[in-house]
Amino acid sequence: MKPSIPKGTRDFLPQQVNRRNYIFETIRSVFVKYGYQAIETPVMENLSTLTGKYGEEGDRLLFKVLNNGDFLKKANEEALQERNSTALISSISKRGLRYDLTVPFARYVVMYQNDLSFPFKRYQIQPVWRADRPQKGRYQEFYQCDVDVVGSDSLSYEAELVQIYDEVFGKLNIKTVTRINNRKILAGIAEVAGIPEQMIDMTVAIDKLDKVGIEGVRKELGERGIGEAAVAKIEEILAIKELADLKAALAASETGLLGVEEITQVFAYLEGYEFKNTLQFDITLARGLNYYTGCIFEVNVDTAAHPNVKMGSIGGGGRYADLTSVFGMKNMPGVGVSFGAERVYDVLEELDLFPAEDAAALKVLLIGFDEESHRYAFRCLNQLRAANINADLYPDPVKLKKQMKYANDRNVPYVILIGDNEMASGELSLKNMGNGEQEKLSIAKIIDALK
RNA sequence: GUGAGUAUAGCUCAGUUGGUUAGAGCGCUGGAUUGUGAUUCCAGAGGUCGCCGGUUCAAAUCCGGUUAUUCACCCCA
């Protein structure tokens, strides 16, 4: 059979794993520094935990796990006869693959509320699955790196998360622009434009501003049933750049003013912080997820510094006033952000910013010429490993050329060649694969040299 | 869910208006070189041209269907 993997999934070569670990480690180290703790949740959740949390579109993209056993026996007869998949699902599937890390986290907080101290600061780096059509930079299996704090509505956390973004991308040497907005400001705009019920439609439309331009947004607003007068008002407010001007424009909306105040406070916390990257207020930032209620964030590669990089957002997040109430726990505000590790990988590759392969790789390969020297080499191997040197032995004393080629393919910096002469004298041939130089040294001296 | 492209050797791809035995580069195996890799030279192995059907004297090539995959839209990281 022809080997293959499911669509939207990927295998990783050793070098790719090293590079992905570099990204994860960089992110993790910053999370830990800011006082966040790791948690993990299962790849499968009960389907009831997941359904209805991501909207109609999200339900469609959920991977469902078929029940074990004779699942059709217990299937809903009516739905089965009518070939109604949607109605059938609950009777043949009770589990699904997690779609993101936030909803499982909400469930987790409710289940372990008595064991957690609030504010609870957690990070989580695990894969999630979506049955989306794959395309460039989008997969059906991908990692999310989430960092959230629940149990406090302090705006100092918004400021802290902005700093985490700044620090991580600073360490990765990617120049970024973090944009910040506030859902309350967007609600205020909808109020002032006289369409408070259509705020979601409005935000979905204006979220596309940088992609389709003001013309496209105007069109989409119209298509979503928003009247001309309201569209004109929305456009007028979107043109505002300064918070002070916005305050005046939203004077009629209590919610809108609150949003402006929140943003102002976040900036106040950040006064004096030395940014490595750019932070800017962007009134057009909307973000699709409906559960955000306060500040929202999105990070993009700074196209001024990296003009050739074409990539969507590489991070995003925001505040939610109430995520756990669907699981029966009220008054649990939170705020969190996520890093798009897969996209960060593509950006680092595009910019050639991955560090050189680290010393964790194989340091020396031993080569024996015949059966006897192969056994001798095996004993030398043990000494090297005992001295904590990453060492390996070619498994058979085959033709030297073949063994050398393997060493070359493995990118080993040194090889040790062992034949009759070496065994007689105890002086092994240590060859530097970089410059081809070779010298005879005792195993003790080799260990000193390679340490 | 909607639309477009692609499918030929292990990998990346050529393949003319349809015409004898389908090619290249890389990789692999052996040799030049029986104690030395990455460079060079020589030789060799390796293909049901995604699958099914149709048109034709003749199909990798044209047509229909199907599967896989890529890209874009919707949505999203």
- Beta-carbon contacts of A330 under 8 Å, excluding residues fewer than 6 positions away, are A322, A324
pLDDT in the model for residue A13 = 84
Q: How many Å from the CA of A417 to C1' of B68?
A: 48
pLDDT in the model for residue A224 = 84
Describe the crossing of helices A156-171 and A14-33 by its angle, rounded to 10 degrees. 150
Query: What letter does residue A443 receive in the DSSP assignment?
Result: H
The whole-angstrom separation of Cα A345 and Cα A16 is 9
Question: A138: which nucleotide lies closest, measuring CA to C1'?
Answer: B77
Write out which nucleotides of chain B lie closer than 7 A to a protein Cβ: 1-3, 28-31, 33, 35-38, 68-77
Task: List the helix and strand counts (H, then E) for chain A.
Answer: 18, 16
The whole-angstrom separation of Cα A271 and Cα A16 is 39
Describe the crossing of helices A199-206 and A183-192 by its angle, rounded to 10 degrees. 110
pLDDT in the model for residue A54 = 86
The whole-angstrom separation of Cα A185 and Cα A153 is 17
Question: A4: which nucleotide lies closest, measuring CA to C1'?
Answer: B68
pLDDT in the model for residue A360 = 63
pLDDT in the model for residue A119 = 95
Q: What is the pLDDT of residues A252-309, one digit of tens each?
A: 999 999 999 999 999 999 999 999 999 999 988 887 667 789 999 999 999 888 887 7
CB-CB neighbours of A426 under 10 Å: 11
Q: How many Å from the CA of A159 to C1' of B32?
A: 69
Q: How many Å from the CA of A165 to C1' of B20?
A: 67
Q: Which residue is nearest to nucleotide B71 (CA to C1')?
A: A135
* Measured torsion, CA atoms of residues A317, A323, A324, A330, in degrees rounded to the nearest 10: 130
pLDDT in the model for residue A1 = 65
What is the phi-psi region of residue A426: left when phi exceeds 0, alpha when psi lies from -120 to 50, beta otherwise? left
With contact defined as beta carbons under 8 Å apart, do A108 and A41 qualify?
yes
CB-CB neighbours of A442 under 10 Å: 12
Closest CA to A187 of A67, A290, A338, A68: A290
Q: What does each C-alpha distance from A386 to A419, A427, A429, A451 come to in angstroms?
A: 22, 19, 20, 12
pLDDT in the model for residue A96 = 94
**Blockwise average pLDDT, block size 10, chain A, 451 residues:** 82 87 95 97 95 85 90 86 82 92 95 96 96 89 95 96 96 94 92 87 84 82 85 89 89 93 96 95 81 91 83 88 89 93 87 75 92 94 96 92 91 93 94 90 95 86
Q: How many Å from the CA of A399 to C1' of B41?
A: 21
- Beta-carbon contacts of A274 under 8 Å, excluding residues fewer than 6 positions away, are none
The whole-angstrom separation of Cα A277 and Cα A163 is 10
Helix (H) or strand (E) holding A236: helix A228-238
With contact defined as beta carbons under 8 Å apart, do A296 and A318 qualify?
yes
3-state SS of A172-200? CCCCEEEEEEEHHHHHHHHHHCCCHHHHH
Chain length of chain A: 451
